[in-house]
Amino acid sequence: PLAVSQMRTSPSYDDEQIRLPSLERLREEKEPRSATAKHLTEKGKRGKKVMDTRSQRKARMQKYVLFKPGERFYKGKWEVTQLIDNGGFGVVYEAWNNEKSMFAALKAEPTTSTGESQLKQEILVLRTVNATGKTEHFPRIHAFSKHRNFAFIIMSLCGPNLKALRSCEMKQPRRERKPDDMVQDHYLLGVGSWVRVGMQSLYAIKTLHDFGFVHRDIKPANFVVGTGQDMTTIFMLDFGLSRSYAFKSRRDDLWSFFYILIEAHCGLPWQFELDRKELERIKCTISDKELTKNLPKRLRVCVSDLRLLDIYSRPDYAAIHRVLLELKTMESVNR
């Protein structure tokens, strides 16, 4: 795996992008608000949950969770060192703990206008999974807190995600690329690599299911490699959409898992389609046979078996693992 330092770029921290810490936020650090606080209406009843618009969420991110290097959190124990990534819902920073001499990842999200945060669910899942100690393939929580306008969680620092590891830079702008150029530039993982990734990712999914949750957002960007002694371990991230599988199906996570394998091995049929309507048409009409035609035959059988499951059925993780193990053994013999 690539070193973590190779995957990061130094962000520009000019005054237009990063605000100075306000007195309001400093007061929030001293007076944290409970993550279970109820938000009441003027009449004293619990208000209806309201989702912020994209523009509202972006404005709250700009105001509350863009931090400068040197800002401290959790009683001053953790110091922001650099930006790692940002997205539509939050920002991830590298943080340093001088007492423990260790780096970690600080993930911050603005709360909604009603005070809600998706980090609440992520904290619940990680605390449940790691309740009896460190669980393989899941980051460890070091600290978390919720304030009036933002929430954050500090957890194990990992390396690049699978999407970053298997993607290469395109020299041409997206609108100027041709499908043939993208196929040539886009590289696929070797059988040995994607099988090993698949085995670890499958075990992470099974472990999450065994603790009573479905992920609901299985994709390459949410699986990362570890660092240091864990550099050969795949970790699962981003549990903000996770729910109890009493209400959601475990098979859906397995469908997304097979999409990861197909994309890594031979590419998804629609991944280079630029026309949005055509992309939608392909996704809605493609058959399982066409989707999996380039997968090894034994894996195609596993995909067919998913069609037989209802929303309450337990997937046969062992059968999928046996097929991946056979492919791994065959790859080792053929070297």
Helix 191-210 × helix 119-129 angle, to 10°: 90
> What pLDDT is recorded for position 247?
78
The dihedrals phi and psi of 223, each to the nearest 5 degrees, come to: -125, 130
First-to-final CA distance of the chain: 21
Residue type, 73: F
Number of other residues whose CB lies within 10 A of the CB of residue 209: 18
User: Does residue 299 or residue 86 have the better pLDDT?
Assistant: 299
Q: CA 210 from chain center: how many Å? A: 19
Question: Residue 167: which pLDDT band, with cuts at 50, 70 and 90?
Answer: low
The three-state secondary structure class of 118 is coil
Model confidence pTM above 0.85: no
At 187 the pLDDT is 59
* Cα distance between residue 252 and residue 35, in whole Å: 30
Closest CA to 238 of 328, 151, 139: 139
> What is the predicted pLDDT for the residue at 127?
95
Place of tokens 């053994």: 329
Among 57, 61, 41, which residue's Cα sits nearest to residue 49?
A: 41
Tokens of 31: 């007076």
* Residue 22 pLDDT > 70: no
Concatenated DSSP letters for 129-189?
HTTTSPPTTSPPEEEEEE-SSEEEEEE-----BHHHHT----SS-GGG--HHHHHHH----
In tens, the pLDDT along 244-285 reads 988 789 999 999 999 999 999 999 999 889 999 999 999 999
Mean pLDDT (the chain, rounded): 81
Amino acid identity of residue 146, one-letter, is: K
Of the candidates 94, 98, 101, the residue with the CA atom closest to the CA atom of residue 76: 98
Q: What is the pLDDT of residues 102-143, one digit of tens each?
A: 999 999 999 876 667 789 999 999 999 999 888 999 999 999
Query: Who has greater pLDDT, 5 or 311?
Result: 311
Rounded distance between C-alpha atoms, residue 192 and residue 107, angstroms = 33
Tell me the mean pLDDT in the region 169-183: 43
Report helix angle 191-210 to 250-265, nearest 10.
Answer: 170
In the three-class reduction of DSSP (H, G, I as helix; E, B as strand; rest coil), residue 34 is classed as coil
In the chain, what are the domains? 18-155 (3.30.200.20), 162-334 (1.10.510.10)
